[in-house]
Amino acid sequence: MGWIAFTLITYVSVIADIMLWYSDGRVQWETLLTGIAAVIAAGLTIVKLSQQINQTEQLAADHRRRRARAARAMLPLALSEIGEYSTDCIIGSYALRLCFQDDGTFDWSRVDTTLAAWPIPRLPENVLPVLKECIEFCDDSPAESLAVLVRHFQVQNLRLAQDISWLRRNDGVHSISLTDIELRMLDAAELYARAGLLLPFARGEAVEVSEVGRHQIDNALSFASCFTNVGEIDELVDRWQFARDHPMPKPKY
């Protein structure tokens, strides 16, 4: 706007300087009035354009707030669905864990029965679109936590589906260890924990989303109510803590 105003005023000033005076020194009043009218018109145009831009920006901001409010209203249900999905994954993985014998070998005779009774859990179709809306329209900090939640779900779901696929193939090539099964339980527990930490924000509280810790992983495993003793949970939480404190180095290419 400032550039337009500067250009118009400069143009009018140059024209006025050239055409404002007759050769005998008398003022050309028609030209002067025309120049003044042009400057006024330019100023009114700038004001009008500024008002239109401000109105457009206000409408866009209002639309964004409404979309954020609608998405946030649906977020508690979406997080609850993620919690139920995570719990189902923990329970199903624990049942597979019981297929291992005392010597650590896998009892393939029990796998078919176990897998037949436990189809891979799936999220309802409306959950991820709600999370996407919140990531797009909510503030930066909660949006980043939601993005991490979505990424963690994608990794967890892919790993679980791959392990289940290998178990069902039973081709003697792709082996599954007890550690693999326990890691799938920890993946699901962390997903549950991350969803739980976002619940205060989903309920409308103005809070910073904290990071997942031992307490949240312990709660997620305990809530599944499938473990025979507390010691099993403590061992898994220790394994999760160790993996967090000693991350695997990224490969160099």
**Per-residue pLDDT tens over the stretch 191-248:** 999 999 999 888 887 767 788 999 999 999 999 999 988 899 999 999 999 998 887 6
* pLDDT value at residue 64: 64
Domain end, chosen from 12, 40, 59, is at 59
* pLDDT value at residue 253: 47
* pLDDT value at residue 45: 78
Taking residue 238's Cβ as centre, other Cβ atoms within 10 Å add up to 11
Verify that 55 and 72 share a domain, yes or no: no
Verify that 90 and 51 share a domain, yes or no: no
Q: Look at residues 223, 211, 232 and name the one whose alpha carbon lies nearest to residue 152.
A: 211
∠ CA 127-90-225, nearest 5°, is 110
Verify that 143 and 234 share a domain, yes or no: yes
Mean predicted confidence (pLDDT) in 93-107: 79
Q: Quickly tell me which residue has 């919140």 as its tokens.
A: 134
Verify that 20 and 92 share a domain, yes or no: no
Domain end, chosen from 17, 34, 59, is at 59
Whole-angstrom distance, CA of residue 77 vs CA of residue 79 = 5
Verify that 53 and 170 share a domain, yes or no: no
Domain that holds residue 98: 68-245
Is 156 a domain residue?
yes
Q: Answer with the residue of higher pLDDT: 150 or 116.
A: 150
- Distances in whole angstroms, Cα of residue 32 to Cα of each of 9, 18, 127, 240: 13, 11, 67, 82
Verify that 140 and 205 share a domain, yes or no: yes
Mean predicted confidence (pLDDT) in 34-42: 72
pLDDT, the chain, mean: 79
Judged by phi (left if over 0) then psi (alpha if -120 to 50, else beta), residue 175 lies in: beta
Is 252 a domain residue?
no
Verify that 81 and 164 share a domain, yes or no: yes
Domain end, chosen from 10, 31, 59, is at 59
Is 251 a domain residue?
no
Is 121 a domain residue?
yes
Q: Is the pLDDT of residue 42 over 90?
A: no
* pLDDT value at residue 41: 76
Residues across the chain:
253
Taking residue 34's Cβ as centre, other Cβ atoms within 10 Å add up to 15
Verify that 92 and 198 share a domain, yes or no: yes
Is 30 a domain residue?
yes
Task: Locate 238 and state its tokens.
Answer: 């220790």
Total structural domains within the chain? 2
Verify that 232 and 142 share a domain, yes or no: yes
Is 225 a domain residue?
yes
CB distance 115 to 99 below 8 Å: no
Is 85 a domain residue?
yes
Verify that 104 and 198 share a domain, yes or no: yes
* pLDDT value at residue 22: 45
Verify that 239 and 200 share a domain, yes or no: yes
Q: Is the pLDDT of residue 86 over 80?
A: yes
Verify that 34 and 115 share a domain, yes or no: no
Is 207 a domain residue?
yes
